[in-house]
Amino acid sequence: MGGFQSVEPAGIRRRAVSPATQQAEARALQQRRAEAARTSSEALLRLQAPEGYWRGDLTADISLEADYVLLQLWLHQPKGPDWNPPARARIEKCCRSILERQLPDGGFALYPGGLSDISLSVKAYTALKLAGWSPEAPEMVKIREAVLRLGGVDACNSYTKINLSLFGLYPRRHVPTVPPEIVLVPGGVLYEMSSWTRAIVVPLSIVQAAGRERRAPEGFTLNELFLPGKRRSLVKGEGLATLFSHLDKLVKLWDKRGLKNLRALALREAEHWILDRTRYSDGLGAIYPSMMYHVMALDSLGYPDDHPDLIEAIRQFDGLLTETTDRFFFQPCVSPVWDTAIAAYALGELGVAGQEELTRAADWLIAREVRRKGDWSVKRPNLEPSGWAFEFANEYYPDIDDTAMVLLAFFHARASEPEKQARTVRRAVNWLLGMQSSDGGWAAFDADNNWRILNKLPFADHNAMLDPTCPDITGRVMEALVRTGVPRDDKAIRDGVKFLLGSQETDGSWYGRWGVTYVYGTFLALRGLRASGSASAESAMRKAADWLRSIQNPDGGWGESCASYVRNCYVPAPSTPSQTAWALLGFAAAGDTSSLAVRRGLQYLLATQLPDGAWPEELATGTGFPNVFFLRYHLYRHYFPLLALATCREG
């Protein structure tokens, strides 16, 4: 592929300097870069666990803490107006954690710097009121005013209203019903939903169908959060959305009058389904919402408090909690495989880590290769199992993105048993090739998970019913495959190139599904195209580099708001270390490691590095569900800047 032609942005006037001065400045910048990279690598190595892995905190909004209070209400029903659950002290800490994130206007945001969100604000108010906060307390008055200003409880998303309905706090007839018979529907309809959706709806279907009615404390209501005269309806949109709304009415009628034998069969199958998926896992789906509904489902089925499965489900759920004297938060899941793979790769690219550290990381990763068939095998029944999950253990749900990242880590991290590692790599490459979707791209957990009709279901407003192919994962997979020896002219790589070229935005960027947003998608698409060596991609790569240059912040860094998902275009934000690193990595993939934009980006990282070798980062740059759930990966501020410093060695 051709080299990058450096074109500086209009409006930037460079001072006249001699070639000798330019060379001296470049050498000084490289010396500072090398020193910053060394300090960063030492800081990252200090965070490695003795077993060989890295795991940073993964944090989100207040919904996790608020839902925890509802789960305690489910498990410990009040006797009359007073509610005194065993976890009273923990609930009080939980509520203080919620209030720490209240915005000046009274509400709560989906991400740092965001606007108040109606569903989060209702959840926060409910949790606080259940815990004993007076509705007349100043904090509660401000939340209530924000909720009413945003449309009241009726404006919440479907899952918030479903959770409230389980306690009689929202009319059951106005929330979607998920019947357990969904596991009996022929044709694998359940597996046309995304993996995380099916792991949520199956236990939820048990809760709705079998859960004996739970109540809030006597006299407890949320009446003050409802706007008077607001019409309630499941219909959001027209056409198929209306049809599904009518079908929901039939489902509710079935709940009351359906065949009891069929319902009993469905409940048994749903029970078996969730139990099967927790045998080799850190919880159902190893994610907070499905683990919470799993606990509620087992309780709904009559499991006694001392039943081993219920005890284990609660233990796994509580494992998501971080509680110290000054910290209280739940993680939506844990990210050791992801963190370990990226950390090892960054250190390997820099070339400074001792072989011992990377060998421990490689051995730890090899021990966690998935060797059992999971949900993905419904569509790929003849494919040999392999891959890695995001978490410590989640064998039904290996992740394509994590698997690609592990293969990149293995490019540098050599295990203590080379032959075993070679076999592992061969299986993983074969699995990735087999998981390519028909459009040439790769998704997160499944192949060809693209039944768009499911987006019209009444409970589809969590914006994640499907697991579509996306440029960010496709780019990473292509890079991993080529670096592990798949020929550039292999059909999988050629199809991947076509997918990326066909999904480029008109401004030159690419959409990022799993990171915020267009900066993330662009850097990974560029790396995939660079790995492909495709001459047909050169103009697209130049256009992408021009776009990255056009959005550089005045301080030399890059930043992008989570609001990009709302507007479907880039929305600027203050510079962050991780997004600056992504932009620099994108430039490097496009062939540019020395332009003014790159040097200014490097200078931003050098100027903002902390004495401990890391960088400060408070904004969310990770994506769970676009527009619904965002993430802060606390190690992104460590290893992505390090990877950028390791890559941009000619600035």
- Compute the average pLDDT of residues 70-85: 94
Local confidence band at 429 (pLDDT 50, 70, 90 cut-offs): very high
Q: Could you tell me which residue, 456 or 359, shows the higher pLDDT?
A: 359
Q: Most distant CA pair in the chain: distance in Å?
A: 87
**pLDDT given for residue 52 in this prediction:** 98
**pLDDT given for residue 198 in this prediction:** 96
Percent of the chain with pLDDT over 90: 82
Backbone torsions φ then ψ of 609, nearest 5 degrees: -65, 135
The C-alpha atoms of residue 191 and residue 273 are separated, in whole angstroms, by: 12
The C-alpha atoms of residue 127 and residue 150 are separated, in whole angstroms, by: 19
Q: Does 241 have pLDDT greater than 70?
A: no
Local confidence band at 251 (pLDDT 50, 70, 90 cut-offs): low
Q: Exposure pattern of 468-503 as b/e (b: 16+ CB <10 Å)?
A: bbbbbbbbbbbbbbbebebeeeeebbebbbebbbeb
First to last CA, the chain: 20
**pLDDT given for residue 1 in this prediction:** 52
Is the backbone of residue 505 left (phi > 0), alpha (psi -120 to 50) or beta? beta
Question: Domain residue spans in the chain?
Answer: 61-330
Three-state SS for 127?
A: helix
Percent of the chain with pLDDT over 70: 92
Three-state SS for 488?
A: coil
Local confidence band at 355 (pLDDT 50, 70, 90 cut-offs): confident
Q: Does 453 have pLDDT greater than 70?
A: yes
Angle between helices 636-647 and 577-589 (to 10 degrees): 30
CB 326 within 8 A of CB 308: no
Q: Residue 386 corresponds to which tokens in the numbers above? A: 């392999």
> What does the chain come to in residues?
651
- Compute the average pLDDT of residues 543-547: 98
The C-alpha atoms of residue 546 and residue 380 are separated, in whole angstroms, by: 40
Mean pLDDT for all residues in the chain:
92
Q: Does 255 have pLDDT greater than 90?
A: no
**pLDDT given for residue 286 in this prediction:** 97
**pLDDT given for residue 649 in this prediction:** 80
Tell me the catalytic residues: 401
Local confidence band at 650 (pLDDT 50, 70, 90 cut-offs): low
- Compute the average pLDDT of residues 130-149: 97
Is the backbone of residue 151 left (phi > 0), alpha (psi -120 to 50) or beta? left
Give the full edge-to-edge strand order of the sheet including 622-625: 58-59, 629-633, 622-625
**pLDDT given for residue 349 in this prediction:** 96
**pLDDT given for residue 452 in this prediction:** 86
User: Each residue of 281-320: pLDDT tens digit?
Assistant: 999 999 999 999 999 999 999 999 999 999 999 999 999 9
H/E stretch holding 629 reads strand 629-633
DSSP 82: B
Q: Does 260 have pLDDT greater than 70?
A: yes
CB 95 within 8 A of CB 69: yes
User: Each residue of 381-393: pLDDT tens digit?
Assistant: 999 999 999 999 9
Q: Could you tell me which residue, 510 or 251, shows the higher pLDDT?
A: 510
Beta strands 328-330 and 321-323: pairing type?
antiparallel
**pLDDT given for residue 326 in this prediction:** 82
User: Each residue of 89-132: pLDDT tens digit?
Assistant: 999 999 999 999 999 999 999 999 999 999 999 999 999 999 99
**pLDDT given for residue 455 in this prediction:** 79
The C-alpha atoms of residue 271 and residue 297 are separated, in whole angstroms, by: 8
The CA dihedral of 44, 49, 51, 56, to the nearest 10 degrees, is -80
Q: Select 61-330's CATH number: 3.40.50.1820, 1.50.10.20, 3.40.50.300, 3.20.20.80.
A: 1.50.10.20
**pLDDT given for residue 8 in this prediction:** 46
**pLDDT given for residue 13 in this prediction:** 47
Nearest to 497 by CA among 432, 466, 541, 451: 541
- Compute the average pLDDT of residues 151-172: 95
Q: Residue 230 corresponds to which tokens in the numbers above? A: 């607001």
Q: Does 464 have pLDDT greater than 90?
A: no
Q: Does 7 have pLDDT greater than 90?
A: no
Q: Does 2 have pLDDT greater than 90?
A: no
Q: Does 651 have pLDDT greater than 60?
A: no
- Compute the average pLDDT of residues 48-66: 98
HSE-CB of 285 using CA atoms within 13 angstroms: 23
User: Each residue of 509-543: pLDDT tens digit?
Assistant: 999 999 999 999 999 999 999 999 999 999 999 99
State which of 162-176, 234-248, 484-498 shows the largest mean pLDDT.
484-498
**pLDDT given for residue 245 in this prediction:** 59
Nearest to 282 by CA among 389, 185, 206, 416: 389
- Compute the average pLDDT of residues 464-492: 97
Nearest to 56 by CA among 71, 46, 65, 66: 46
Q: Residue 459 corresponds to which tokens in the numbers above? A: 């409970």
**Rg of the Cα atoms in the chain:** 25
**pLDDT given for residue 254 in this prediction:** 64
Nearest to 127 by CA among 176, 80, 169, 155: 169
Q: Does 53 have pLDDT greater than 60?
A: yes
**Stretch among 50-59, 451-460, 638-647 having the lowest mean pLDDT:** 451-460
Local confidence band at 213 (pLDDT 50, 70, 90 cut-offs): confident
User: Each residue of 613-644: pLDDT tens digit?
Assistant: 999 999 999 999 999 999 999 999 999 999 99
Q: pTM for the full model?
A: 0.94
